[in-house]
Amino acid sequence: MGNEQSAIDENTPTQTLDSRTVEAVGKYIKDGRAKRIVVMTGAGISTSAGIPDFRSPGTGLYANLQRLKLPYAEAVFTLDYFRNNPLPFYILAQELYPGQFRPTITHAFINLLNEKGILLKLFTQNIDCLEREAGVPDDKIIEAHGSFANQSCIDCKGSFPKDLMLKAINEKSVPHCLHKSPSGEPCDGLVKPNIVFFGEQLPGAFFDNRDLPSTADLIIVMGTSLSVAPFSQLPSFAHDGTPRVLINSEAVGGLGSRTDDVLMLGDCDGQVRKLAEACGWLEELEAMWAMTAPEKQPKSDKEKAKKSRDEQLQDEVNKLAQEIEENFRLEQAQYEWLDKHTDNKFAKVQEADTSEGDTDIATPIEEAHEANAGSSSALNPDAKKTDPSVGGLEHVFPHFASKSSL
């Protein structure tokens, strides 16, 4: 188990691990040899929480932004576009803002490493704050692309109250800076969460800590495509002989090319359970993750899955019933409008017949058909056009998810 699609010949000996398997990694940790673990994560660890990643075709965040009428999908995270039109970002932010999603068991595993005292640092590309909600302390997290945890003015860089930011996001309104200049003039600049937009520098904390992988005795990379620099360079900073574990849907970033690389390919939550079991921590991990469940949510996976399916079915039934009801209402309104409109037309034709003789009645009938074709929009001028290829964001960022990275 492990080492799927490794670039290393299976006969090549390891330097540090007993073998390139998850069992060997578990033994390495249980033996107390992994005291400084660096974890690197991307959007793939949050997709099972309901947050879409960014780049997956058809389901990723960028593929679901057409409804915001952006000039291009990435514009929502572009500072110049935000300055001119910040509202699309705040519409999106409402769907991705922390508090709506439960951390996954993978997030809980990172916190378990911290509780064991062996997490040196977590580097994450995610902006969803689920690591924090799982219990990982701030001082252990490097949010390479920022997050929703804090917010500030894009002009004066002054901080902004979190409660007012939450109010603005709930209302899909645009907050403005409350600070004043030394002369007393209000700044009134646009405020945004401290998410790294295109064209902005990564946080200083990232560069201050980017050498930590070289001091680690175990690297764990999870749920990232490792396609965006400089984050993608982090695993290469580990010394040869330092075990590197990749938990991901596919091999990425050259992992699998060193003697002590272990590839665990598949969904993150399932592979994390296997790693926890190899460490002898599975029950402890499940208990820790259960503590993140809302009170009304069933604690067991079996009950949770069953309820989730039932809820999804009920949601679909409710949605279908609403659509049928709305279609029936529109059809009834159409018929009433057409009856009245056609009666008026025929009344005018009969009047004309009485006073002027034969009259061609094709014209009012054709007009009635034309009215029928346009009546739906006439009856509901505010109705939004929908693109059947565009789904909801279920992250987000929203997971959005997304979220693999900005």
Q: What is the C-alpha to C-alpha distance for residues 31 and 321, in angstroms, rounded to an integer?
A: 58
What is the sign of the dihedral through the CA atoms of 310, 312, 318 and 321? negative
Confirm or reject CATH 3.40.50.1220 for domain 13-50+103-145+202-293, answering yes or no: yes
Q: How confident is the model at residue 336 (pLDDT cuts 50, 70, 90)?
A: low
Q: Are 261 and 244 in contact (CB under 8 A)?
A: yes
Q: Who contacts 24 (Cβ-Cβ below 8 Å, separation ≥6)? A: 2, 14, 17, 18, 262
- 36 with 218: CB under 8 angstroms? yes
- Is 239 annotated as catalytic? no
Mean pLDDT (whole number) for 26-42: 97
Q: Which residue has the tokens 């769907």?
A: 95
- Given 145, 176, 239, 399, which residue is catalytic? 145
Q: What is the CA radius of gyration of the chain?
A: 28
Tokens of 356: 């002027």
Give CA–CA dist 53/75, Å, rounded.
16
Q: What angle do CA 9, 12, 15 make, to 5 degrees?
A: 135
The per-residue pLDDT for 181 is 82
Which of 184, 127, 192, 183 lies closest to 155, judged by CA? 192
Residue 279 clears pLDDT 90, i.e. is over it: yes
Structure-model confidence comparison of residues 228 and 393, the more confident one = 228
* Residues tagged in the binding site annotation for Zn(2+): 153, 156, 177, 187
- Coil, helix or strand for 398? coil
Q: Name the residue with higher pLDDT: 100 or 64.
A: 100
Instruction: Report how far residue 186's alpha carbon sits from residue 178's, in angstroms, rounded to the nearest whole number.
Output: 7
Backbone angles phi, psi at 198, to 5 degrees: -60, 135
The C-alpha atoms of residue 274 and residue 264 are separated, in whole angstroms, by 9
Pairing, β 119-124 against β 141-143: parallel
Instruction: Tell me the two tokens of residue 17.
Output: 């691990």
CB-based contact 262:2 (threshold 8 Å): yes
Architecture of domain 52-100+148-195: 2-Layer Sandwich (3.30)
The confidence score (pLDDT) of residue 291 equals 93
- Give the best-scoring range by mean pLDDT among 101-110, 177-186, 194-203, 329-338: 101-110
Identify the pLDDT of residue 364: 34
Maximum average pLDDT range among 21-30, 60-69, 292-301: 21-30
What is d(CA 94, CA 78) in angstroms, rounded to the nearest whole number? 18
* Residue-range domain boundaries for the chain: 13-50+103-145+202-293, 52-100+148-195
Concatenated DSSP letters of 28-52: HHHTT---SEEEEE-GGGTGGGT--
Place of tokens 């969460």: 193
pLDDT for position 169 = 84
> pLDDT at position 6, please?
63
Whether the per-residue pLDDT at 392 is higher than 50: the answer is no
Q: Pairing state of beta strands 191-195 and 146-153?
A: antiparallel
Token pair 């691990």 in the structure block, residue = 17
| Residue 171 clears pLDDT 90, i.e. is over it | no
| Distance in angstroms (rounded) separating the CA atoms of residues 25 and 16 | 10
Q: What is the 3-state secondary structure (H, E, C) of 183-210?
A: CCCECCCEEEEEECCECCCCCHHHHHHC
Mean pLDDT of 384-388: 36
Query: Taking residues 309-325, what's their average pLDDT?
Result: 65
pLDDT-based confidence at residue 303 (cuts at 50, 70, 90) = very low
pLDDT at 16 over 90: yes
Confidence of residue 351 (pLDDT cuts 50, 70, 90): low
125, 144 contact by CB (below 8 A):
yes
SS3 96: helix
8 Å CB contact between 37 and 285: no
- In the predicted model, what is the mean pLDDT of the chain? 78
Residues in Cβ contact with 139 at an 8 Å cutoff, skipping those fewer than 6 apart: none
- Specify the pLDDT at position 267: 95
What local confidence, expressed as pLDDT, does residue 376 receive?
A: 35
Alpha carbon distance 294, 291 (integer Å): 8
Q: What is the pLDDT of residue 251?
A: 95
Beta-carbon contacts of residue 149 (< 8 Å; ≥ 6 apart): 98, 129, 132, 138, 143, 193, 194
Over the stretch 119-136, which tens digit does the pLDDT of each residue have? 999 999 999 999 999 999
Answer whether 13-50+103-145+202-293 and 52-100+148-195 agree in fold: no
Please list, residue by residue across 92-112, b when 16 or more beta carbons sit within 10 angstroms of its beta carbon and e when fewer do. Answer: bbbbbbbeebbbbbbbbbbbb
Give residue 307's pLDDT.
Answer: 53
Percent with pLDDT over 90 in the chain: 53
What is the SS3 assignment for 324? helix
Give the least confident one: 14-23, 67-76, 319-328, 361-370.
361-370
